[in-house]
Chain A
Amino acid sequence: QKEVEQDPGPLSVPEGAIVSLNCTYSNSAFQYFMWYRQYSRKGPELLMYTYSSGNKEDGRFTAQVDKSSKYISLFIRDSQPSDSATYLCAMNRNQGGKLIFGQGTELSVKP
């Protein structure tokens, strides 16, 4: 079983739609969960950072962590064409530890 699984997509939605992106993981020791956005030929850009279970909201973005189900989600409200990118989930066991990434989901938001 892979440590972190993420549907690679591609996912195509119309502008204004609510987007749901998800990852599952197998290692219950993970405590820190991140979502990165990666545009073509660029590095991962941090979007959301959460510790343990719960929700975190930042503008149009909401991150959810359910440690009991080993499942994390990123919701994007009122999606824009500029949100078109690959979204990577990442997690680690301790602050400063190596990040384990998902495969990334390619998102396309159509005008």
Chain B
Amino acid sequence: EPEVTQTPSHQVTQMGQEVILRCVPISNHLYFYWYRQILGQKVEFLVSFYNNEISEKSEIFDDQFSVERPDGSNFTLKIRSTKLEDSAMYFCASSDRVSNQPQHFGDGTRLSIL
């Protein structure tokens, strides 16, 4: 069964450094999302992306965050200058709205900011 894949599974970064989290969505999906889950808290929406532009973003998704679809298969989340509070699991999801399919998630990248 097709799946969303994310790399790396664990990223350790010094505070203030830039980090890029990578995702390969399911191949025929056109809608892409990033969510995060701080330890012990709810899964929270960050941003949705369609047709090479952001369709919706949350208050969390400030100027430090950006997303990109650099080629036909990858979808990335960049955090420009990481803060301690950015430590969380980051999940990528994709969906095929045309066929009324819900969002399918990857296994996440655990981001640890030191």
Contacts and interface: CB of A to CB of B under 8 A. Distances in A.
Contact of A104 (B35, B42, B104): B42
B33 A98 contact: yes
A100 B107 CA distance: 18
Interface of A is mostly: loop
Contact of B48 (A49, A96, A100, A104): A96
Among A43, A46, A90, chain B packs the most CB atoms within 10 A around the CB of A43
Given A98-B45, A98-B56, A43 B102 contact: no
Interface of B is mostly: strand
Given A44-B105, A96-B50, A103 B42 contact: yes
Interface string A97-111: 111111110000000
B43 A101 contact: yes
A46 B107 contact: no
B58 A43 contact: no
B75 interface: no
A42 B107 contact: yes
A34 B56 contact: no
Given A32-B102, A43-B108, A44-B105, A96 B42 contact: no
Nearest to A32: B102
Interface in B34-71: 35, 41-45, 48, 50, 55-56, 58
B42 A43 contact: no
Contacts of A101: 42-44
Contacts of B44: 101
B59 to A, nearest CB: 12
A86 to B, nearest CB: 10
